[in-house]
Amino acid sequence: MWDTTIDFEMNKACRCPPRKGRRASKASGRVRKHGRVLGHRFGGPDGELLGYVEARKRIYIPAYRWVLEQRLADEVRRLRDLRQVQPVVLLDYENIEDTSNPMSHAGLVKGWVW
């Protein structure tokens, strides 16, 4: 039986640095400590619980865009300039539309830069 009363705890989220080799995945056969993920919290502790596709649209893509605009503006500008003088290839092995796999970072960069 899953404990569905456990939710995201902000005070614990920033305390533990990631440990190498500790990412849970279907392939590794590991199970998450508190059971399966029920959704992605949008809007803080009392926000709505979103499914994976909706979370991509409302949380992850806007957050990625913010990083490209606010933290990587120089790199984005350089990519745009480079694209004007020669072909640019962004390598990635994932597809942004395929929700059975993680999001394609190259697809997000291409969508913003081009």
Residue 9 has a pLDDT of 56
Start-to-end C-alpha separation, the chain: 47
What CA–CA distances, in Å, run from 48 to 21, 40, 61, 66, 74? 31, 8, 17, 21, 35
- pLDDT of 2: 46
Verdict on whether the full-model pTM lies above 0.85: no
Query: Mean pLDDT, 10 residues at a time, over the chain (114 residues)?
Result: 55 55 52 75 89 90 94 95 93 70 81 84
